[in-house]
Every structure is written in C-alpha cells, then in structure tokens.
A and B are shown apart, each in its own frame.
Chain A
Amino acid sequence: AQKVTQAQTEISVVEKEDVTLDCVYETRDTTYYLFWYKQPPSGELVFLIRRNSFDEQNEISGRYSWNFQKSTSSFNFTITASQVVDSAVYFCALIPPNSGYALNFGKGTSLLVTP
C-alpha cells in the first residue's frame, strides 16, 4: 500500500525561526516520486518540489530546503528564517508507478508563522 504520513497537524512558530515539516512515506516500489505542495489561506495549491526515488540529493531553493532519505523513507521540508507569508498548509505527496499517476497526499501540516 502507498501511504504518506505527516504526523505534525499544526505547527506555530515566530517569524525568523527555522521550521521543519516531516513527511514519511510507505511504498514497496523502487521507483516512485515525491512532491510538496503549499496551500496558502487563499486556497490554491502551489507546487514546490518534485523528487524521484533515484535522486537522493538534498535540494535548496532560497529559504526552502528538502532532505530526502530513503533509509528512513522520509522527505522532510525545512523553511529557514520563516516569514508570515509562509503561513499555509503544506502537503507531502507520493506517486507510485503504474497508478495512473494520481497524487497520494498526506493529511497536511498547517504552519502558522506569527510576527
């Protein structure tokens, strides 16, 4: 079975703090794809990153960074020096092969950044 767990339901931080959002996935496939999406209060779903299972390199994009560790089946997301505009619900998702490529989403982590 394919499953994504985001154990942190809600996180609250003060601006400029670093915050890490956890994502643990389950799959028996050796080829799979992982994603993060952001859903701000306005409601749209914004793509952040796509990673395939053969690429374990960590990625940094500005204040955002991702740590992919196959050994622990985790794909964690860190925001450095958080800002109020980072307040949103963040979803981790998995696409296994031969599934029609539907995103299997975790339940999301709601991040609140206060001034």
Chain B
Amino acid sequence: DTAVSQTPKYLVTQMGNDKSIKCEQNLGHDTMYWYKQDSKKFLKIMFSYNNKELIINETVPNRFSPKSPDKAHLNLHINSLELGDSAVYFCASSQGLVSADTQYFGPGTRLTVL
C-alpha cells in the first residue's frame, strides 16, 4: 500500500564508497524528485524526472547521478562519498508537469558517511 517507498531507510558507509538509494512509487505519477535535507533540516531539490526525462538538475556534484529506468522508479547513485554527503534524502512524486501538483514524499533515507 505504500505510495512512495525508498530503500534503504538507513545507510552507513565509509568515505570514498559508492552507494545507491532506490525509490519506487505506485501512484501512477509521471514526475519524480530527489530532495536533500541537511542537518539543519533545510530541504533542497536535487533532481526531477518526468516520464524518465531529466527536468531539474540543480547544482549538485557530478558524483550524484539519478537514473530512471521507468516512470515508477527514480534511483540515486552517489560515487566517492564524502562526509558532507551525510543527510536525509527524500524521494517524491507528483502527477505531472501541467500544474504544480502535490508532491508525495517517501519516508527518507538517512545517509551517514564516516
């Protein structure tokens, strides 16, 4: 029944490693997003995809690469992890791009880089 799901919920890893976070939505939405919430709780957009096409690519390091195999999935791959990547990453989805439809969020993935 979960509308937007993310795996894993927690991710603890060493600096320099490569990791992926997966996101799936079963709402039939066309648009998916990745947001980053820092230690001060500030939320900022990273990427968005509409029907597997990249729409938003904010100023994030090239080490972050989103991949959308189909419109129900948007994964986030991070290379060469750094201490500053520690944050909570939220996936979200919305109906489309015709209007600013409500975005529904996944439970978040807490990434800790040691």
Contact = CB atoms under 8 A, between A and B. Distances in A.
B42 A100 contact: no
A28 B34 CA distance: 26
Nearest to B54: A100
B42 to A, nearest CB: 6
Contacts of B41: 39, 89, 107-108, 110
Given A35-B102, A107-B42, A101 B107 contact: no
A9 to B, nearest CB: 10
B25 to A, nearest CB: 14
Contacts of A44: 105-108
A100 B107 CA distance: 22
* Most chain B beta-carbon contacts within 10 A, residue among A35, A97, A103: A103
Interface stretch (B14-22, B43-51, B69-77): B43-51
Size category, A interface? 20 to 34
B55 interface: yes
A91 to B, nearest CB: 7
B94 interface: yes
A47 B108 contact: no
A45 interface: yes
Contact of A105 (B42, B104, B106, B108): B42
A101 B45 CA distance: 10
B102 A47 contact: yes
A33 B35 CA distance: 18
Given A33-B100, A101-B100, A102-B45, A45 B94 contact: no
23 contacts: A33-B99, A33-B100, A35-B103, A44-B105, A45-B43, A45-B90, A45-B108, A46-B105, A47-B105, A91-B43, A100-B48, A100-B55, A100-B97, A101-B31, A102-B56, A103-B35, A103-B45, A104-B45, A105-B44, A107-B40, A108-B41, A108-B43, A110-B41
Q: Which 4 residue pairs are nearest across A and B when measured between Cβ atoms?
A: A102-B45, A33-B100, A95-B100, A100-B56
